[in-house]
Amino acid sequence: MTAVIECKDVKRTYVSGKIEVQALQGVSLNVSAGEFVSLSGPSGCGKTTLLNIIGGLDRPNGGDVRVEDQWLNELSNSQLADLRMNRIGFVFQAYNLIPVLSAAENVGFIMQLQGKSTGERRRRAKQVLDSVGLSGMENRRPAELSGGQQQRVAVARAIASSPAIVLADEPTANLDSKASDALLQLLRQLNEEEGVTIVIASHDPKALEYARRHVRLVDGQIHSDA
Ligand SMILES: Nc1ncnc2c1ncn2[C@@H]1O[C@H](COP(=O)(O)OP(=O)(O)OP(=O)(O)O)[C@@H](O)[C@H]1O
């Protein structure tokens, strides 16, 4: 099967002041369509950096990443933004919901950027909020929802535009065990029923159980992949 994500010798060095940190030291990784992959490893090993580079939020200093049929080095910043908007869904630890918008408006936000009509946004927002178990909560603002519910809104937002890939960075970090299970179950369902490729960076052993392939990073390099 062709890889939907291909990382070729990806390197990322951060410079802060006189200190250089080699966050990624040559990572090569292929992920096929429909895989559910975990990225784990000690704090600072480069998980977030790798997810950000795969998702086009950051650029490598060396190597390249292909997402579907596009090599990211060849894309301008606006082409990269289009790729993120149309093909990739992000779920972050801190939910990143917009506090003044309702759940439905948060979910519809990217569709608004894509120029979808109000009616279409409302319909799709209701549909995805229903699918993540939040029927009837469309009009609540983030502050009126529990942490687990907010993270479900974040997942609904990530999947609203039917992305090929969902990248999740510590999505269970702020959730209790019941909410974590519900969220992971949701990601599994998305993966199994809709074939969405999922890459999840996490320290949470439970999150790792849900993945079918486990990539472990140590010091910016792949230590194991099984
Ligand atoms: N913007 C930045 N400027 C300088 N150094 C950075 C920056 N972002 C990350 N780093 C450094 O790069 C290394 C990798 O960081 P990264 O956040 O990718 O690790 P991580 O595995 O996700 O860690 P954690 O599990 O703690 O979230 C760390 O040493 C970190 O301090």
Q: Which of 15, 27, 47, 202 is the pocket-test mutation for ligand 1 (most atoms within 8 Å of CB)?
A: 47
Q: Where are the alpha helices (DSSP H) in the chain?
A: 47-54, 77-87, 103-113, 118-131, 147-159, 177-194, 205-210
Distance of CA 187 to the CA centre of its chain: 11
Over residues 186-191, mean pLDDT: 91
Atom of ligand 1 lying closest to residue 201 CA:
22
Q: Which of 125-139, 143-157, 175-189 has the lowest mean pLDDT?
A: 175-189
Listing from the earlier edge strand, what are the strands of the sheet with 70-71? 19-32, 3-16, 62-67, 70-71
Show me where the domains of the chain are located. Answer: 3-225
Residue 2 banded pLDDT, cuts 50, 70, 90? confident
Over residues 217-222, mean pLDDT: 98
ipTM of the modeled complex: 0.97
Class of the CATH-defined domain 3-225: alpha beta
The tokens for 69 are: 């049929």
Q: What's the length of the chain?
A: 226
The alpha carbon of 117 and the centre of ligand 1 are apart by a number of angstroms equal to 39
131 lines ligand 1 (CB under 6 A): no
Asked whether the CA dihedral 173, 174, 176, 181 is positive or negative, the reply is negative
Strands 197-201 and 88-91: unpaired
Whether the CB-CB separation of 87 and 166 falls below 8 Å is answered with no
Q: Which of 7, 19, 21 is the pocket-test mutation for ligand 1 (most atoms within 8 Å of CB)?
A: 21
pLDDT value, residue 1 = 63
Question: Going by C-beta distance under 8 Å and a sequence separation of 6 or more, which residues neighbour residue 129?
Answer: 103, 104, 107, 135, 137, 138, 153, 156
Over residues 83-108, mean pLDDT: 91
Residue 225 predicted with pLDDT over 70: yes
pLDDT value, residue 135 = 93
Residue 73 predicted with pLDDT over 90: yes
Q: Which of 10, 13, 14, 50 is the pocket-test mutation for ligand 1 (most atoms within 8 Å of CB)?
A: 14
